[in-house]
Structure 1
Amino acid sequence: MSGHSARGTAPVTGLDLGGTKIAAALVGPDGTVLARHTRPTPARDGAPAVLDALAGAAAAVDPERRATAIGVAAAGVVDPRTGLVTSATDSIGGWAGTALGAGLADRTGTPVACDNDVRATAGPELAALTAEPGYAHGSLLFLAVGTGVGGAVAVDGRMLHGAAGLAGHLGHLPSPEAAGLPCTCGATGHLEVIASGPGIAAHYERLTGAPVDRLETVAARAGRGEAAAVRAITTGATATGRLLGGLANALGPDRVVVGGGVPRIGPLYGDALAAAFTAELMGPLRGLLPRAPLLGADAAVLGAAALTTTLPLHHPGAPR
């Protein structure tokens, strides 16, 4: 069961659930972070343990129970209407099928709004766009490139959630550069396997036959001019830019934002992505360029807190 969104003058709690850690923030009505807390995610201990840890983080960041609602930005495919995790990778064991909204509401006694972590992170980007004069119904294309590739799509001022909460999973669009490569979702040839951090590192290994520990190692070698490292990075960036350019033609965004850890490796990546993106654009979109996110490390917890004003709330003790 769900009810109306929380609005008012009291603080709300934002929770960001990832495969390794939970970040919590108590957020005032003006968006100020009043308190913070982090703890490890018990990712191997099962969904009830993860829900317990989320409830613990909410209690730790708000010991006086001032928050009137909790917003959760969670890894996996989340349907904000039902509050269910409809699909998930094995980064959190047994996470698929979890009643995130109801389970956390029952544990905390507080109404809960929940969504996928990337859509939640994109929420403040959409809010900033639609607050600009003339963009009240603005459209946004948001991509997060890190350990995986996730995304969010907002059209005419409204975030798209889609069937089962699946909208925005841009890493699972087909990419010519990834042809034949197996994806974590079970299909082959998806953008994520050539463009994510591990995907770029794996491509470098295919080119050289030499194992590499992390993306930053590839980036350092590219910085020294090593051809295989440059190729691995620019292939991932080009694949991402081409796909985003095609999506821009399909959706007509006013703004395109690319975040996550991978773009931070430097201009070699960013320049290749921008060039491939621009080459795809139809006439009316020329001049549109991908930009960096407005918010830094707090983006996910602030986006999570904002969910309480935009999404259905799942209440404790409601009939299931």
Structure 2
Amino acid sequence: MTRPPIAEGAADETPAPYTAAPTAPPAPAIGLDLGGTKIAAALVAADGTITARHTVPTPGRDGPDAVLDALATAARAVLPSGGRAPAPTGIGVAACGVIDPVGGLVRAATDQIRNWTGAPLGPGLAARTGLPVACDNDVRAAAGPEFAALPGPAPSLAYLSVGTGIGGAVAVDGRMLHGHAGIAGHLGHLPSPEAAGLPCSCGATGHVEAIASGPGITALYGRLSGSPVARLEHVVARAAAGDATAAEAIRIGGQAAGRALGGLANAFGPGHVVVGGGVPRTGARYWAALRAGFAAEVLAPLRALVPRPPRHGHDAPLLGAAALVTTLPLHHPSGALV
């Protein structure tokens, strides 16, 4: 979709909210999923089929220029060869951090990627690849295919992703929200009573990410048991083996996520609530706690809502990233924004 040119100095303006976009671009596009440890690339055909894949490590310790170079390398690796396949229309990037789609900038980020805050993601990648680039937060991009599949002309969605960190996306009345500088949907930074006094990755204290993320639950188990473990998988295994403290750590983390999500639901009234990420995949114990926390918070008109897993699997960020070329402003190699 072509957007009107953005006026000079308007990088902080909120982009026009996009509606329930298709889960695939109308022509081939490249989707890039930038995480803290790896970059996944895919060439996505017009029917949503992934026709080529490539993965490279994220050189996060080497700074933003190295990361942009690695993104360009991954994109080139999935370009069609031989001249018989249609050339991609552009590149969509699903990236960690607070991403401003209009400015094409990383507005805020943790230190998982060194000096990532302020990186010119859209313009920098367009200059390196010669292709137009659209960019957005990784969780918001992953929520795109889920949002597009919802029934009705103007659905509303709360999408929570719980893993090493906690992210999210919010869609209201058929529009995915970006907010000022792309910050909408960072649900891991909602206040949580269970996390009172705990430091968050953002530098504040008391946010739900500090208690309900994978590392948050793992650290909680260490505090409760006096026997720290390295990974959430160890906590889950101990709970399955009958360790009551491990089960309690998972319950508290899941409940905290559910309560925060329930409070958010009261604020804007979604018709659908989806929870993805690695932590919910640990099993029924976490889901039961999250759903109980959610049910305890929501107001009466929302009590029929039950958080559910996403319909799309691990490819959701790649499919959502490729679809960004039809829904968000495109940064061109010339420096133009349309």
Q: The TM-score by the shorter chain falls in which range?
A: over 0.9
| SS at structure 1 position matched to 2:146 | helix
Which of these residues, 91, 94, 98, is aligned with residue 77 of structure 1?
98
1:126 maps to 2:143: no
C-alpha contact 2:25 2:323 (8 A) present in aligned 1: no
Name the amino acid aligned to 1:209.
G
Aligned to 1:159: 176
2:89 counterpart residue number = 68
- Conserved 8 A contact 1:73-1:115: yes
Partner of 1:169: 186
**Aligned residue in 2 for 1:271:** 288
CA–CA distance in structure 2, aligned partners of residues 235 and 68 of structure 1: 46
Amino acid paired to 1:91: Q
Partner of 1:312: 329
Distance in 1 separating the partners of 2:286 and 2:178: 29
Counterpart of 1:180 in structure 2 is 197
Cα deviation, residue 3, structure 1 = 4.6
Residue deviations 1:54-101 (CA, integer Å, cap 9, x gap): 011110011438111100000111001110000111111111100100
1:10: how far off?
2.8
Query: Structure 1 CA distance, aligned partners of 2:187 and 2:26?
Result: 36
8 Å CA contact retained: 2:37, 2:58: yes
Matched positions, count? 315
In the alignment, the residues of structure 1 paired with residue 214 and residue 201 of structure 2 have an alpha-carbon distance, to the nearest angstrom, of 14
Among 105, 111, 134, the alignment partner of 1:90 is 111
Per the alignment, residue 46 of structure 2 pairs with 29
Distance 1:150 1:82 in 2: 21
What is the letter of the counterpart of residue 114 of structure 1? C
- For 1:227, the equivalent position in structure 2 comes to 244
> Secondary structure of 1:185's partner?
coil
Specify the SS of the correspondent of 2:267.
helix
- In 2, the alpha carbon distance for the partners of 1:254 and 1:8 equals 26
Counterpart in the other structure of 1:47: 64
CA deviations on 1:130-150 (whole Å, 9 max, x unpaired) are: xx2xx2111000000000010
> Which residue among 192, 197, 207 is the counterpart of 2:214?
197
Task: Please tell me whether residue 15 in structure 1 is matched to residue 36 in structure 2.
Answer: no
Root-mean-square deviation over aligned CA pairs:
1.7
Name the residue aligned to 1:100: 121
- Identify the range of structure 1 (280-289 vs 46-55) with the bigger mean alpha-carbon deviation: 280-289
CA distance in 1, matches of 2:271, 2:96: 27
Once the two structures are superposed, what CA deviation does each residue of 1:287-308 show, in whole Å capped at 9, x if it has no partner? 1100101111101100100111
Q: What are the superposed Cα offsets for residues 263-315 of structure 1, whole Å, 9 maximum, x if unpaired?
A: 01111110111111112221211211001011111011001001111101011
Following the alignment from structure 2 to structure 1, what is the Cα–Cα distance between the partners of residues 102 and 306?
33
CA contact (8 A) 1:3 1:314 kept: no
Q: Does 1:281 align with 2:298?
A: yes
Query: In 2, are the aligned partners of 1:198 and 1:214 still within 8 Å (CA)?
Result: yes
Candidates 148, 153, 157, aligned match of 1:140: 157
Cα distance in 1 for partners of 2:155, 2:116 equals 34
Q: Structure 1: which amino acid aligns with 2:98? A: V
Determine the C-alpha separation between the residues in 1 that align with 2:93 and 2:138. 8
1:29-57 deviations in Å (ceiling 9; x for gaps): 11111111111111111111110110111
Amino acid in structure 2 at the alignment position of 1:137: A
| Alignment of structure 1 residues 237-256 onto 2, 5 Å | 237-256=254-273
- Deviations, residues 184-221 of structure 1 (Å, cap 9, x unaligned): 11111000000000000000011111120100100011
The list of structure 1 runs, each at least 4 consecutive aligned residues, that deviate by more than 4 angstroms after superposition, is 2-9
Cα–Cα, structure 1 residues 57 and 180, in superposed 2: closer, same or farther, change >3 Å?
same
C-alpha displacement of 1:224: 1.4
**Compared with structure 1, are the counterparts of its residues 37 and 282 closer, same or farther at alpha carbon in structure 2 (3 Å cutoff)?**
same
Which stretch of structure 1 is more off in the superposition, 280-289 or 101-110? 280-289
Q: Is contact 1:3–1:315 with CA below 8 Å preserved after alignment?
A: no
Take 1:176 and 1:74, find their aligned partners in 2: how far apart are those partners?
A: 29
Give the structure-1-normalised TM-score.
Answer: 0.95
What TM-score do you get using the length of structure 2 for normalisation?
A: 0.90
SS at match of 1:44: helix
Distance (Å, rounded) in 1 between the aligned partners of 2:29 and 2:320: 11
Q: Look up the match of 1:114.
A: 135
State the SS of the aligned residue for 1:90: coil
